[in-house]
Amino acid sequence: MACVDLCRLAGMPPVGVLAELMNDDGTVMRGPELAAFGERQKLQHISIAELIAYRQVRDKLIERAGEFPVETEIGTLSGYAFLTPFDQVYHMAFVYGHIGDGKNVLTRLHRANIISDVFGGAKPIHHALGRFKAEGRGVLILLRDGTAGVPIVAISKLGKTPSDEARTRQWRAIGLGAQILKDLGVNSIRLLTSSHGITYVGISGFGIEIVGTEPVEG
């Protein structure tokens, strides 16, 4: 896929050859060795992570897969399901009221966690719904890992490096959430965030402005 992506970005036919560079002892070149080889040969080089990051910012990588009503303690919400090319789990958005001009929308980006959401009473979600009711509108984004609630460190068992894990978490928490918000017509938000939650720096790079943050219980 990296070969095809590079060809498309260069405006060339989507055909490429994937090969590995070898050291003199027969081992495969990795990170620093590849960088050194590229510098010696005056070659441009890019990492897969950089290619993914570039596409995440510039491409629309979500697809709206369905719409449905959801009955809640504050009334009926409009539910939306989304898929990405990276996994086959549904990420969801729940909208209370009307998005309107998409500005200054009260928003909760919530990473699904079975343990806290089921056994902990989902306090951040219920608090967010209460704030939506008082505000008259709001958006709850429910972001899922491949298996919701499994700690993100479990990804390392699939052979990914810690930096890959960090990028995966950042994409789910920031890039994916931002793309869903854009699909809904939201362009600026007041973010409801837990005190121990992720700091959403960089979300503006995905076209969403954070005009303020407010604490959410739980």
Q: What pLDDT does 162 receive? A: 47
- In the chain, the number of structural domains is 2
Question: Considering the domain boundaries, does residue 181 fall inside one?
Answer: yes
Torsion of CA 128, 131, 136, 140, to 10 degrees: -10
Shared domain for 137 and 101, answered yes or no, is yes
Q: Domain of 8?
A: 2-45
Mean pLDDT for all residues in the chain: 82
Shared domain for 105 and 8, answered yes or no, is no
Q: What is the CATH number of the domain that holds 73?
A: 3.40.50.10990
Q: What pLDDT does 155 receive? A: 39
- Please say if the pLDDT value at position 146 is more than 90: no
Question: Considering the domain boundaries, does residue 56 fall inside one?
Answer: no
Q: Between 73 and 53, where is the model more confident?
A: 73
- Round to whole Å and give the CA distance between 29 and 32: 8
Shared domain for 151 and 109, answered yes or no, is yes
β partners of residue 70? 77
* 8-state DSSP, 159: T
Shared domain for 20 and 77, answered yes or no, is no
Shared domain for 73 and 113, answered yes or no, is yes
- Burial category of 78 from C-beta neighbours within 10 Å (exposed 0-12, middle 13-18, buried 19 and up): middle
Question: Considering the domain boundaries, does residue 57 fall inside one?
Answer: no
Q: What pLDDT does 32 receive? A: 87
Shared domain for 84 and 185, answered yes or no, is yes
* 8-state DSSP, 141: E
Shared domain for 32 and 127, answered yes or no, is no
- Is the pTM above the cut of 0.85? no
Pair of tokens at residue 16: 């490429």
Q: What pLDDT does 167 receive? A: 53
Shared domain for 91 and 24, answered yes or no, is no
- Please say if the pLDDT value at position 199 is more than 90: no
The amino acid present at 6, given as its one-letter code, is: L
Shared domain for 78 and 162, answered yes or no, is yes
Closest by Cα among 178, 187, 180 to 206? 178
Model pLDDT for residues 160-181, shown as the tens digit of each residue: 444 555 555 555 567 788 889 9
Task: Name the pLDDT band for 195 (thresholds 50, 70, 90).
Answer: low
Pair of tokens at residue 88: 């086959």
Question: Considering the domain boundaries, does residue 53 fall inside one?
Answer: no
Is 78 in a helix, a strand, or coil? strand
Question: Considering the domain boundaries, does residue 102 fall inside one?
Answer: yes
